[in-house]
A = this chain, B = another copy of it.
């Protein structure tokens, strides 16, 4: 029998994939679900418990009760307003340690991972469960970046790196040497949608998506999927550069097929 895995499940398609992959490996899966975040259909057939986001103590109790050994955090969670967080005592302690400055997502997730490890759980990255999920280095598509796109990628890496230092966003859109858009709280889909209107005539436009330097690898990795490719194509991009070894590619075969169909490149690049 495999180890007992607890999945802290956020939104989107990733939790289902991780759960499927874990069960296929023979792991026993318990799901910690968050009201307003986790899809109720996901947990119906599985051992699970619902816990409000701010109830850190209750969440840890639930993990102990389920005798979880490994823990994976997967799927994005909306950052609620402090005022609407149902904080328990442990939640308050955690937020107090967070302090005011640097209240970006990285630090919060890092503290949460530390808290879970203090409790004796082993926090594992989703990429250790989903095969082929991590972006490889180098070109994955038939199309390749031309010299202009290569320069845009270089600039995008520089900008994303500096933003990442501030725990802001993971994505930047660059076209012909001009930064069209920078991601903060809105997410990559919205970034691409507005850059469609901002892009200039002529070729190019590159989406660059990198892990932030301080980003807790096990709790949160930048992610692209087939939908990202479709939206990038709609926005007139020439291609997508992802952080090799530090970015999840969901349904990689479909991502590459969609990119090849649209004539986009997808390439794995090093960070700064």
Total chain A interface residues with beta-carbon distance under 8 A: 39
Q: Are B198 and A185 in contact (CB under 8 A)?
A: yes
Q: Out of B82, B159, B173, B184, which one reaches A179, CB within 8 Å?
A: B184
Residue of B nearest to A155 (CB): B101
What sequence of 0s and 1s flags, for each residue 128-156 of chain A, a beta carbon within 8 Å of any chain B beta carbon?
A: 00000000000000000000000100010
A62 to chain B, nearest CB (A): 26
Contact (Cβ within 8 A) A201 B104: no
Whether the pair A178, B80 counts as a contact (CB closer than 8 A) is no
Assuming the contacts A182-B168, A186-B198, asked whether A177 and B84 have C-beta atoms less than 8 A apart, the reply is no
Query: Which residues does chain B contribute within 8 Å of A168, judged by CB atoms?
Result: 159, 179, 182
Least distance between A134 CB and chain B CB atoms (Å): 27
Find out whether the CB atom of A103 lies under 8 angstroms from the CB atom of B177.
yes
Q: Does B201 lie within 8 Å of A81, measured CB to CB?
A: yes
With A and B bound together, what is the CA distance between A84 and B203 in angstroms?
Answer: 12
For A163, the chain B residues whose CB sits under 8 A away are 162-163, 182
A180-238, CB < 8 A from B: 180-186, 190, 194-195, 198, 200-202
Question: Of B177, B184, B194, which is within 8 A of A190 by CB?
Answer: B194
Q: Which residues of B contact A151 (CB under 8 A)?
A: 100-101
User: Scoring A residues 70 to 86 as 1 if CB is less than 8 Å from chain B, else 0, what string do you get?
Assistant: 00000000011111100
Chain B residues closer than 8 Å to A158, beta-carbon distance: 166
User: In the bound complex, do residue B101 and residue A200 qualify as a contact, i.e. CB atoms below 8 Å apart?
Assistant: no
A178 touches which one: B104, B200, B201 (CB < 8 A)?
B104
By beta carbon, the residue of chain B nearest A177 is B103
Residue in B closest to A154 when the chains form the complex, CB atoms: B101
In the complex, how many angstroms separate the beta carbon of A57 from the nearest chain B beta carbon? Answer: 23
Residues of B within 8 A of A190 (CB): 194
Chain A, range 49-66, C-beta contacts under 8 Å to B? none
A180 touches B176 (CB 8 A): no
Q: Which of chain B's residues have a CB closer than 8 A to the CB of A181?
A: 184-186
Interfacial chain B residues near A79, Cβ < 8 Å: 178, 200
CA distance A79 to B202 in the complex (A): 13
Q: Apart from A84-B202, A166-B179, A181-B185, what 15 extra A-B contacts exist at CB < 8 Å?
A: A79-B178, A100-B177, A101-B151, A103-B176, A103-B177, A162-B166, A163-B163, A168-B179, A169-B182, A179-B184, A179-B185, A180-B186, A182-B183, A185-B195, A186-B194
